[in-house]
Structures are given as C-alpha cells and as structure tokens.
Structure 1
C-alpha cells in the first residue's frame, strides 16, 4: 500500500477523535443500559405503542456510535502509519458529519437537552474534520500540496508547457545570445594588402576593358 504522508493536523484530528470517542462511549453505555432496563422490566404500560420504537432507536444508536468509534480507530491507524489518502479521509468525515447532523436535528425537534449537547459536540468535531479534509483535497487537486507521492516539479528556467512564466524575484537569468541572422553564402574575401607598409591596391583591371559600377567590362 502506497505511503500518503499528507499534512494532517494533529490539533484538529486528535481533538476530534478524543471528543467523539468519549461522547460515543457515553451514548453507547446509555443505550445499552436502556435496552437492559427494557428487558428487565415490562415497559408496555409506560411506553405503550412506542415500546418497539424505543427499543429500535436504542439499538440504532448503539450501531451508529459503534460505527463512529470504528471509523475513528481506522483513521488513527492509517494516519499514524501514513497510509491515509485524502479522498478516504474526506469520505469518512462526510459520513460522520452527515449522520450526526441528522441526529442533532432530530434531537432539536424532540427538545432533548442532554442529547442536543452530546450530538452537537459530535457534529461540530466531525464538521471540523470535514473542513480540514476538504482543504487537503483541494490543495492536492491544485498541485499546491506538499507530501505524499506528489511533489511539484521545479523548473529553474521559469517555463511551463506552452506558457511563458515571468522571472522569479532574485533569480539571475543569463542575457540572451546573439540572434543576428547570418547568410549561408560565402563572405567576400577581405581586401588585399600589397606590401608590409599597409598600402591597399585596387584590384587589377584587364587591358582593353573599362570599369563601370565596380565591374570590369571589355571594350
């Protein structure tokens, strides 16, 4: 399995894990105790037709809190071993935020003060993880995230494919080379010097010819 050493913040995750596990243990214990009470005593006279709903809701809450604890344990193991991909972390945070958001709304409708306090802690901590995971995934898609298997390419020339980048401040760029056009035709020979004194002689014109426009023509 590939390594995913992404910058997961301990201040966000550790705080969220501790709060979620503690609150889930409280809810898990309360739900188990209610189920035990319902088995030991006949609550039909007290709850009437709601006895089945009461038992089902307690069992459902046990399942949800157990799932949250398992997801937190998986996150702890994968992040500690640097094997947590950002997409999986974002998915886990979305699931927890959605579940506890729905339960918080239901508790608010039921006007259960203690349940509202506990579920708002779970919802707020899950939402914090969701925001943190969304930032990591967004930076990874933009290519500005350091860590994991991705590393932005370093281009000292300041160029990208098909795009000219401005020189970075403080970076020295050598001056451009000479781009003067040179004809492939042979260059004319240099003027000839006649003697060591440096006298320059004009080219010899054959006898019987005249010179016009620097070209010799026969008479």
Structure 2
C-alpha cells in the first residue's frame, strides 16, 4: 500500500481528537439517558405527542456521535501508519464540519445553552482540521509539499547539481569562439601549431604544391 507521509500536525489533530472524543462520549451518555427516560411510563404524560420525536432525536444524536468517534479512530490509524491520503483527510474534516455546523444551528434555535457549548467545541475542532487539511491539499496540488511517494533523486556520480556535463565521448561540435584560450590561425596558441607558409608564386593542389 502506498505511503502518504504528509506533515499532519500533531498539535492540531491531537487537540481535535481529544476534545471530540470527550464531547462525543458526553453526548452518547446524555442520549442514552434520554432514551432510558423516554422508555419510562412515568414520563409518558410529560412527553405526550413528542415522545416519538424525542426518541428519534436521541437516537440520531447517538448515531452522529458514534460516527464521529469511528471517523476519528480511522484518522488516527491511517495517519499513524502513514497511509492517510490528503483528499481523504479533507473529506473527513468537511463531513464533520458540515454535520456539527447543522447541529450547532439547530441548538441555537432550540436555545439549549449546554448543547450550544458542546456543538461549538465540535464545530471549532472540525473546522480547525478542515483548514489544516485544505492547506495540505493546496500545497500538494501546487507541488510545494514534500511527502507521499516522493523520493529525492540520488546523484551517484557526485557531480555538482545544476551544471550540465556533456556525456563521455560526445562528438558535439564546439565553436572556437567558446574557448577561453587565445587563438592563432584558428588554433589555440598553447598547442604550438602554426600552418606552413606556402612559397611565393605557388599554390596548393591536392596534396602537392605546384610552382608557377
């Protein structure tokens, strides 16, 4: 399985996971207690026609809190094993932010102070993870993020990077103008070569010198 060793910040994720676990366990306990109350016949007159809605709300809250706990466990396992893709982490953060955002709005409408405080904690931590995940995905798309399957290229020849070295035995033509040595008769002066002077009144034909 592919490794996804991306820079997930422990300070952000650990804070979010711990607070979400604590709040979700509180919600699970409160919902279980409410279901127990709804099942008691002594409260049938109090709940009246809202008995079914009360029970459904408590059951839905158990399902949502339980799902958040499961998602956090999956995030912890995948990040610990370096198998968490940034896209999956972003999707998980988006889902939690959207769900707790809706619940926060519903709690504001119902004017439940304790529920609003708990929803704020869950929404803030989910939003924090969402921002962190969005930054990682954005850097990955721009190619400025180190991680995943990236492996630095090795340089076994020990040559300096950034300089182009022609391959051995290259027959590439190099202009004399590119040489830093002064030239004489089209050849480097250090070579000591100078073309032979032809006698006056002669010309070269083939490999023999003809005299006029």
TM-score (norm 2): 0.75
The residue number in structure 1 matching 2:206 is none
Q: Deviation at 1:152?
A: 7.2
Is 1:118 matched up with 2:124? no
Distance 1:180 1:15, change over 3 A: same
Counterparts of 1:203-214 in structure 2, within 5 Å, are 203-204=201-202
Separation in 1, partners of 2:84, 2:105:
31
Is 1:10 matched up with 2:10? yes
> How many residue pairs were aligned?
175
Does the 8 Å CA contact 2:20/2:122 hold for their aligned counterparts? yes
The residue number in structure 2 matching 1:55 is 55
Larger radius of gyration: 1
The residue number in structure 2 matching 1:68 is 68
Q: SS where residue 43 of structure 1 aligns?
A: helix
Counterparts of 1:163-174 in structure 2, within 5 Å, are none
Distance 1:152 1:41, change over 3 A: farther
Does the 8 Å CA contact 1:93/1:127 hold for their aligned counterparts? yes
The residue number in structure 2 matching 1:88 is 88
Deviations 1:92-120 (CA, angstroms, capped at 9, x unpaired): 00100000000001101111100000000
Separation in 2, partners of 1:178, 1:59:
84
Counterparts of 1:80-159 in structure 2, within 5 Å, are 80-151=80-151, 156-157=161-162
Q: SS where residue 6 of structure 1 aligns?
A: coil
Separation in 2, partners of 1:123, 1:179:
72
Distance 1:99 1:152, change over 3 A: farther
Q: Deviation at 1:150?
A: 2.7
Does the 8 Å CA contact 1:96/1:126 hold for their aligned counterparts? yes
Q: Deviation at 1:44?
A: 3.0
Does the 8 Å CA contact 2:87/2:137 hold for their aligned counterparts? yes
Q: Deviation at 1:190?
A: 4.0
Deviations 1:71-90 (CA, angstroms, capped at 9, x unpaired): 00111111111111111111
Is 1:191 matched up with 2:197? yes
Q: Which has the higher helix share?
A: 2
TM-score (norm 1): 0.73
Q: Deviation at 1:151?
A: 4.8
Q: SS where residue 144 of structure 2 aligns?
A: coil
Separation in 2, partners of 1:125, 1:202:
98
Structure 1 unaligned residues grouped into runs of 5+ = 160-176, 182-188, 193-200, 206-215
Does the 8 Å CA contact 1:19/1:125 hold for their aligned counterparts? yes
The residue number in structure 2 matching 1:202 is 200
Q: SS where residue 48 of structure 1 aligns?
A: helix
Does the 8 Å CA contact 1:143/1:152 hold for their aligned counterparts? no
Does the 8 Å CA contact 2:38/2:44 hold for their aligned counterparts? no
CA RMSD in angstroms, aligned pairs only = 2.5
